[in-house]
Structure 1
Amino acid sequence: MQSFKIPASLETVREAYPSASDVARVAAHGGQEARFVLARLWLSEGIPYAFRQRPAVYEAARGWLATRLAVDPKEITVIGSARLGQSLAPGESMGKPFSPDSDLDLTVISSSLFEKLRDAFNTWAYHYETGVASPKNPRERMFWDDNLARGPKILGRGFIDAKMIPLREGYPVSQAIGQTMFLLREKLKATVEAPQVRGASVRVYRDWSAFVMQIALSLASSLPV
């Protein structure tokens, strides 16, 4: 009987919260298979570092979010520095510890919510291009133009950031998510031993395959080699 085969680059990664440098090393030298393993296990499953002191708070938050977003709690996870305790962002932010100045980066894997956001994005894009919706100032116009250009590309890869759709009337799913993120931060403030964060955001994926592929791609393209 043959034993299970484990990529050699992963042999030394035996902690629930590996350091950013360990993740970077595996991502850089372990190949696509190792990056897929990182995405499926360390970067999406288990109790996030930010909730390690009182893990039940994480599940309570997921249950509350699931009701607000009309998804299953198991379809909600946390990535970023709240997941491992250190930032994986390239450059000077690499290895920066999770702190109250960090954001809570939520991920939802739900085809139904993805479709709602895709439709809302397409409606907003049409409104913007036809003059029905207009940005309030030059800074907002800059973000709108960037979102208009990026949106179709990332939708084609099976994900979208909820914040790409303005929090305005006419886009109720965006408004609902925006309000939910505000309330989440406030509820965390009111909860004993819950992580305190600067803000919260949501990225929604069509399915798990799209999630794993995008995380693996991000690891391959942004981490130092």
Structure 2
Amino acid sequence: MEPFKVSSHLRDVISAYPEARLISEAAKNGGESARQAIARQWLSEGIPFAFRECPGIYESVRAWVGSRLNIDPKELNITGSARLGQSLAPNKIGKPFGDGSDLDIFVISSEQFEVLKNEFNQWSYDFESGVVSASNARENGFWKENLHRGPKNISRGFIDSNIIPNHDKYRYAINVAQTMYLLKAKLDVTSGAPKFSHASVRCYKSWASYVQQISLGFQ
């Protein structure tokens, strides 16, 4: 009988919150299987670092956000420095999590992915046809960037809700934005809860899309 095989590059990654340097090196040198293992085991399971001392609050957050966004709490998770305690972003790798860090939420839901995709497509049509317009030149620049970035991300199986403007026509995107605003406010007044500067949501079509995108991000 063949024993289980573990990548040698993962043998030193034994903590629930390993150093960003160890994760980065294992991802770069361990091949696709190591990257996928990191995405599944360390970046999407367990209690996030930010809530390590208050896991009950984390569960309350998942239940509350889930009820507002019509998703199962199990479909909601956290990424970024709030997950590991350090950032994995190339430009700030190893930067520790602290009060004022962002709360980066991701959701795995094919249904909500389709809702956001449809609202993005409606917004892009409205923008290009002049039905809606940006309020200033700076916003117009962001909208044009989102117009090109959105379809690329959608083709990879994910979408950031904040690329859809807060407009009455795009009801689900507005609900997400309002929920994130209220989430930050509720955490600010919750004793023992971590404090964040901003909260956002990325929605993935499937777990396979999530693992693939995280794996690509390590390359």
Whether TM exceeds 0.5 here: the answer is: yes
Identify the residue that residue 185 of structure 2 maps to in structure 1: 186
Identify the residue that residue 149 of structure 2 maps to in structure 1: 150
Identify the residue that residue 27 of structure 1 maps to in structure 2: 27
CA–CA distance in structure 1, aligned partners of residues 3 and 216 of structure 2:
29
Q: Runs of 4 or more off by more than 6 Å in structure 1? A: none
- Structure 1, residues 160-208: CA drift from partner, whole Å, max 9, x if none? 0000000111111111000000000011111111110001000000000
CA–CA distance in structure 2, aligned partners of residues 135 and 103 of structure 1:
26
Matched pairs, number: 219
Write out aligned runs for 1:91-130 (5 A). 91=91, 93-130=92-129
Structure 1: runs of 5+ lacking an equivalent:
221-225
Which AA in structure 2 matches 1:190? V
Identify the residue that residue 215 of structure 2 maps to in structure 1: 216
Which AA in structure 2 matches 1:183? L
Secondary structure class of the residue paired with 2:196 = coil
Identify the residue that residue 167 of structure 1 maps to in structure 2: 166
Which AA in structure 1 matches 2:21? S
Is the counterpart of residue 18 in structure 1 residue 18 in structure 2? Answer: yes
Secondary structure class of the residue paired with 1:203 = strand
What is the CA-CA distance between 1:28 and the residue it aligns to?
Answer: 1.1
Identify the residue that residue 223 of structure 1 maps to in structure 2: none
CA–CA distance in structure 1, aligned partners of residues 21 and 120 of structure 2:
36
CA–CA distance in structure 2, aligned partners of residues 152 and 105 of structure 1:
21
What is the CA-CA distance between 1:2 and the residue it aligns to?
Answer: 2.3
Identify the residue that residue 62 of structure 2 maps to in structure 1: 62
Secondary structure class of the residue paired with 1:104 = strand
Secondary structure class of the residue paired with 1:134 = coil
Identify the residue that residue 132 of structure 2 maps to in structure 1: 133
CA–CA distance in structure 2, aligned partners of residues 137 and 44 of structure 1:
38
CA–CA distance in structure 2, aligned partners of residues 26 and 193 of structure 1:
34
Write out aligned runs for 1:35-54 (5 A). 35-54=35-54
Which AA in structure 2 matches 1:69? L
Which AA in structure 2 matches 1:11? R
CA–CA distance in structure 2, aligned partners of residues 142 and 20 of structure 1:
33
Question: Percent same amino acid at aligned positions?
Answer: 50
